[in-house]
Every structure is written in C-alpha cells, then in structure tokens.
Amino acid sequence: MSLGRTLAIRGLTLLGVLVVVLLLVIITLGATGFSERILTATMSEQLRGEREVLARTIRDPLQLENALQARRDELVRFYGLDKPWYQNLPNVTRRVVTLDLGQARTLRTSDGSSKVSSLIMERLPRTILLVTTASVITSVIGLWVGVKLATRAGTGWDKAVSYLSAVSFALPAWWAGILFILIFAFHLDVFPEGGLYGTPPPEGGLARFGDLLYHALLPILTLTVVSLGGWIYAVRTMVLNTSQEFFVTVARAKGLSEGQVMRRYILRAAAPPIVTSLILGLTGSLGGAILTETVFNWPGMGRLYFDAIQSADETVIVALTFVFTLMYVAARFVLEVLYVILDPRVRYA
C-alpha cells in the first residue's frame, strides 16, 4: 500500500465520520419534530412583529388577516414546514456543510453579531489556545516521565507514579477545576476564579496578553493534570512492553549504551502505539475542554456549547456539534499523517 493510498483511506474514514455525525444530528432533529417546533416558534415570533407593522398601514381587519395569512404561507414555504422533514434533508445538509449556519437566537458575540459563524470564529481561537497548550505540555511531560518510569519499572517511584496516574485518570476534569478554584482562587487567592480578562481588562497589547495567560493558567493546569496520568501510564506500559522484545536484548548485547537503546530501538518501535494513544487522548481533552471552559467561565467553544444548552439555542447546538466533530477529525488527520511518518510498516507494507 502506497503512502498516498493509506492516507486516502484514512481521509475517507474521517469523511465518513463527518457524514455519520451530520446525518445523526439532522435526522434526530427532524424525526423528533424538534426542528419543526423551533422553526414554528421562530415563525410565529416573526409574524407577531410583522403584524404590528402591517396594522399601522392596513386598517381593515379582514384585509389585515388576509395579508398576514399570505405572509404566513410564504414563511411556511421558506422554512420548508409544508414538507415532511426528510424532504428538507438536502437543504439543511447543504447549509451545515457550507457552514451557512444561520443566526443564534439569544447568544451574541462581543460586538453584538448573532451570526453563528462569527460566534464560532470568535470563540474557536480561545479553545485552541487551551487545548493545544495543554496537549503539548501533557505529551512532553508524559513522554519524559513515562520513559523514565519504564527504565525503573517495579521501583517505589514507578509504583507511586502509577498510582498517581490512576488517580489523575479517575479525576473528572471539571471537578479538578472546581478543586483548583477552591484552592487557588478562593483560599489562596493567587489566581482568578475564571473569565478571559480581569475587570477592567488591562490596556496595551502585551499587558492584555499577559492577563489572558494569567487567566488561562488554571484551566490549562486542570486539563493537563487530568490527562497527564493516563498518558504517563500508557507511555510507560508501551515502552516496557517493547523493551522486553528480543531485538532490544540483542541491541543491549551489542554493547550499545542504554540511551542509544532507548532512542534507537525502544522508542522508535514504541512510537506508533504511543501516537495512537495520543490520538485517543484528544477525544478526552476536547470533551474535557467543554466542561473545563464551563467551570472557568472561559468564553471558548465549550462555554458556548454550555450557554447554548442553557438557552436551548438549537442552531448553535447543531453548528457546534458539527464544528466539534470537524475539529476533532482535523486533529485526527494530522496525527494520522504523523503515524504514517513514524511507522514504516504502514508505508512499505
């Protein structure tokens, strides 16, 4: 299988993911009558507004009713309410795929726009800041500590860190966040309890950026702490597994130094499964970001999702579910490419 072919298959699979999620979302909304309810409500609200406008010009009540009825029919056709939901499928799908996501009902960007796409564009960088920073920190520390532990398997250190990893894996991200708020913001009062900037936000680009980082520290710490444990343990186990292979014994028998054995033989062979678990860990941090942002009132995509649920803003929820999947799939694809580079078997098989 050539390199291009491998990547093409992975790409197709990920495209399949998008299609499945999209269909799942749209069919669920259609089949449960959820979208119809929402659209009817939107339409009635629009008609109420137009009635007041029309009442000023048309005095005759009969004529007014007729005009309104005509307008209502027009809107029903516009929203596709005259057709069963499955006939609207192509239309809705096209709109979501082209990211023509419509208007949010109550949520607004900081400059007052209600367009879902501007809402997402405003929030997306903030989430990426949290998730990527936390992921980078986690992978660097995890790799380093995991390898160290594997060479000291069975010692007290190994056991202690293994238990700590188990604890970190079992910690729900949002609860760890609450814990950090209680300790660092409420009790010690060294970090802000949430938000993006202090009030009032500091003037000047650099000071503003510093304030942003200051506010991002606790959420990043939370995300790191909860994903680090599982990651360390995974690296340790995989390195340990590989280091018991015969080719490692052979390498040692050749008289290579431990460092060389670790870098050239063990890590090289253990890299693909390590990357796999990094990929799987991404699901965790993305889901974790939704909850962590909620806890820290961090106005990113996760907090937006939470606010959309609280205000039952259907358009935003559909759009975000899709965009979350899109983000996830994109990140997966990057890692797939990485995987292909790391694992020669995929390339030359």
Partner 1 sequence: MLSFLRRQGTLKLMLSSNSGRIGVALFLSMVVISLVVVAVYPLDFGKTKWNNPAYWADNPQSVPPSWWRFFTGKDHIVHHIHSAGSPSAVDPRDTGPLLRYNFSFDASSGAIPSFTSISLSGVSYYSTPPVVTLRLRRPDGRLVTVLQEVVRGPQGDGVTPQTRFDDTPYRVFLSGNDSVQVNLADFLFQEFSLQAQPSQLQGSVESVLFGTPQPGGGFQPLRGGYTAIVDLQMRDARDRANFVDSVKFVRGGTVYGLMGTDATGRDLFTGLLFGFPVALTIGISTALISSAIGAALGIISGYRGGKTDIIIQRTADVFTNIPLLPILIFLIFVLGAKLWLVVLILALFGWPGLTITTRSMVLQIRSGQLVEATQALGASQWRIMFRHVIFQIAPFLLAQVIFFTPAAILAEAGLSFLGLGDPSIPTWGQILESGFRTGAVFVGYWWWVLPPGILIAVTALCFVLLTMALEPIVSPRLRTGQ
Q: Which of 114, 151, 241, 277 binds partner 1 (CB under 8 A)?
A: 241
Per rule CB under 8 A, is residue 175 in the interface with partner 1? yes
Per rule CB under 8 A, is residue 29 in the interface with partner 1? yes
Contact region with partner 1 (CB under 8 A), list: 9-17, 95-103, 114-122, 130-138: 9-17
Q: Which of 340, 280, 237 is nearest to 138 (CA)?
A: 280
Three-state DSSP class for residue 98: coil
**Least distance CB 196 / partner 1 (angstroms):** 17
Contact region with partner 1 (CB under 8 A), list: 52-60, 123-131, 202-210, 328-336: 328-336
Per rule CB under 8 A, is residue 178 in the interface with partner 1? yes
Per rule CB under 8 A, is residue 23 in the interface with partner 1? no
The first and second tokens of residue 32, run together, are 């449960």
Contact 235, 147 (CB under 8 A): yes
Per rule CB under 8 A, is residue 107 in the interface with partner 1? no
**Least distance CB 171 / partner 1 (angstroms):** 5
**Least distance CB 246 / partner 1 (angstroms):** 12
Contact 151, 241 (CB under 8 A): no
Nearer to partner 1, 228 or 295 (CB): 295
Residues near 158 by beta carbon (within 8 Å), at least 6 away in sequence: 149, 152, 236
Per rule CB under 8 A, is residue 320 in the interface with partner 1? yes
Q: Which of 23, 55, 97, 167 binds partner 1 (CB under 8 A)?
A: 167
The first and second tokens of residue 5, run together, are 């072919």
How large is the angle between the packed helices 116-151 and 268-296, nearest 10 degrees?
130
Contact region with partner 1 (CB under 8 A), list: 25-33, 68-76, 116-124, 199-207: 25-33
Q: Which of 1, 182, 190, 207 binds partner 1 (CB under 8 A)?
A: 182
Q: Which amino acid would we find at residue 298?
A: W
Distance CA 161, CA 142 (A): 11
H/E stretch holding 55: helix 34-57
Q: Which of 110, 112, 92, 109 is nearest to 101 (CA)?
A: 92
Q: Compute how many other C-beta atoms are within 10 angstroms of the C-beta atom of residue 132.
A: 13
Per rule CB under 8 A, is residue 214 in the interface with partner 1? no
**Least distance CB 50 / partner 1 (angstroms):** 29
Q: Which of 3, 20, 41, 121 binds partner 1 (CB under 8 A)?
A: 20
How large is the angle between the packed helices 314-342 and 3-31, nearest 10 degrees?
160
Distance CA 138, CA 157 (A): 19
Give the Å distances, CA to CA, from 311 to 71, 250, 317: 28, 63, 10
**Least distance CB 295 / partner 1 (angstroms):** 7
Q: Write each residue from 245 to 284 as x if it is in contact with partner 1 (CB under 8 A), else as -, in one continuous string.
A: --------------------------------------x-
Per rule CB under 8 A, is residue 324 in the interface with partner 1? yes
